[in-house]
Structure 1
Amino acid sequence: MNTSFLGDKPVHRVGFGAMQLAGPNSFGPPADPEAAKAVLRHAVAHGVDHIDTAQFYGPDVVNDLIREALHPYPEGLRLATKVGAVRDEQGAWLPSGAPADLEHQVEQNLRSLRVERLDLVNLRRFERDIPDGTEPPLEDQLGALVELREQGKIDMIGISSANADTVQAAIKTAGIVSVQNAYSILNRTDDAILRLCREHGIAFVPYFPLGSAIGSGGPKHLAADPHVSAVARKHGVTPTQVALAWLLAQDERVLLIPGTSSIGHLEENLAAGEITLDAEDLALLDKVEPVPLGA
């Protein structure tokens, strides 16, 4: 499997997003916890060394599944988690980014994953969800994470759901190693942030890599697109695999964390890392039309 870097740590470019191992909408426990743990073990056995998680996936579900399935963790496995949010009783995602909240959430992740230091902590911003300046100041949030890094509780810091100005500030003040934003062949809104990551040599980790039924697109749109379908037929692969391969072709620092609760889909996602798109393929895929938000 092709490799790149998360900070100074080598990782395979196709990792695993553990969010879907919880119940629907990442809320509550899965119907079959043993099947969820089998997916995690299968992923690691087949080369995955970068798993993305969060204490608020469930909440208090996915980290426990990871610990139960994989602890003691194999050498070289990087666990990336996320702070800055909580869930209410209905499963809604709410901001929780005050410095004291971030410290508490880091401690929760340390305990549930049973590690002494978190490999990567992504700060989940809400500036795109609540663009009225009600979030705690970015410098206070990053300051809290930097202090935790200095204490040895965090190895690396990243940022998620952030605008370009926030990314720039985080690079300058906290030395972030990655940006995790929504991005796909169907949603290229953050082209400028991808370029910014390229310029600074940091990882870009797209979530919703196939688009999103809530956000933009999704597998049904990929299958219906004639350009994606043509490339898929040429390589004898699926449209979703083409979409993942397209992301990997954008830059060597793009790391994928597609999520699934199915071993079959997991194997399909991992196989996308072996697809090489040529210039003709990429030119054709450049013609794919973005899908409007909510389509």
Structure 2
Amino acid sequence: MTKTKIGIIGGSGVYEIDGLKNATWQNIESPWGAPSDHVLTGVLDDIEMVFLPRHGRGHVHSPSTVPYRANIDVLKRIGVTDIISVSACGSFREDMAPGHFVIIDQFIDRTIAREKSFFGTGCVAHVSVAHPTCPRLGDVCETAAKIAGITIHKGGTYLAMEGPQFSTLAESKMYRENWGCDVIGMTNMPEAKLAREAEICYASVAMITDYDSWHPDHGAVDINQIITTLRGNSENARSLIKQLPALLDHIRTPCPHNCDRALDHAIMTKPESRDPTLVAKLDAVAGRVL
């Protein structure tokens, strides 16, 4: 058992946590390169919190250039036990309207230009992502949203596209009608996969800004409406985050869904065949089993 430390990865419009005591921006180095930004550390209602702006302050990283491996590594390195990912998305469902939040439980990964694993030649590992988010942490986020008065949908499939362009009409219809996706975004993959490799519980809170191009009224939605919704979503996200410390125990017991033991049987490379350079880079992510 260890102390709970909540990590928030903030997406578009979410660049801080309100009410943090002893708030300090810290530079945490990673063998996987520089993270998106320094991390903001502090205490909220006696629970340690760590905030990392996914795109960097000033929004300098595109979805494809976000250093996902470094981001997850520094959160693991600083002792984060639970990650809540907050990100903007488009909706494929009439009932999942702009301004609503969705607790994601499944992904379809269509990204093609990103490093998706900490492991590789010299230390091969295979983790299960059949259930890529932590149900326990998702339940906590749902409760926090309800307390904050946010319209929340529990469960949804997130189509992760490469971007930075939005989808074509044909793609949007395919994802909605043939693939059964609920929302579309550009940043939760490979983030969720890497969190699983790092044995950190991960929950995804998707904030809907608009209907994707499938919607017949899509053309009538202008950028000002999207920005207004984005601002409202950001305020709601901060309200949700404020509720989290009261809903998570100070002492972190083992995850009932084994997120924190994902590497128990994952590493395939025999010890004598492992690349020492790669093993050294895995000190935070996989030190427990290496």
Return the structure number with greater strand share.
2
TM-score band, normalised by shorter chain: under 0.3
Q: Which has the higher contact order (CA 8 A, sep 6+)?
A: 2
TM-score w.r.t. structure 1 length?
0.27
TM-score w.r.t. structure 2 length?
0.28
